[in-house]
Amino acid sequence: MGMNDNIKAEPNPLDTVEDIYEITVLLDFYGHLLTERQHEIMDLHFNSDLSLGEIAEELSISRQGVYDSIRKAKQALLEYEKKLGLVERFKEQEKNIEKALNSLKNMSRKSPELNDDSDYRQALDLLEKMLDTL
């Protein structure tokens, strides 16, 4: 068994292309809790879309060093989310606001006169603004 065999022993749950969005969300929430260097490398890789080799060259470190930093940063981000749950709460809030907006819009379809009600319009506008700021 070679040294590199251990790298794949425990696959990171965020290694697929579909999960890049999830990593960037975690980075948005918890990125500044990483070391400055880890944050810089993660930002270059996931937000600026640089390859490991490009990052290594730009920061004058080895490609393996970049890889290790990304792996450790991913683990740290997952641990922060596991302990704090901010991303999960964010997603839940977003989902609830969307449900409330849909309910209000369904109500106005059933009772079109609601569109003339200022309190109804204000509630709709506030929920839309909240969703836009998330």
| Of the candidates 3, 24, 4, 28, the residue with the CA atom closest to the CA atom of residue 14 | 24
- Structural contact between residues 97 and 134, judged by C-beta atoms closer than 8 angstroms: yes
pLDDT band at 44 (very low <50, low <70, confident <90, very high): very high
The pLDDT score that the predictor gives to residue 19 is 82
| Of the candidates 58, 65, 132, the residue with the CA atom closest to the CA atom of residue 98 | 132
- Quick one: tokens of 126? 């506030």
What's the rounded Cα separation, in Å, for the pair 76 and 80? Answer: 6
Residue 39: Cβ within 10 Å count: 17
What's the rounded Cα separation, in Å, for the pair 134 and 128? Answer: 10
The pLDDT score that the predictor gives to residue 16 is 67
pLDDT band at 8 (very low <50, low <70, confident <90, very high): very low
Model confidence over 93-123: pLDDT tens digits?
Answer: 999 999 999 999 999 999 999 999 999 999 9
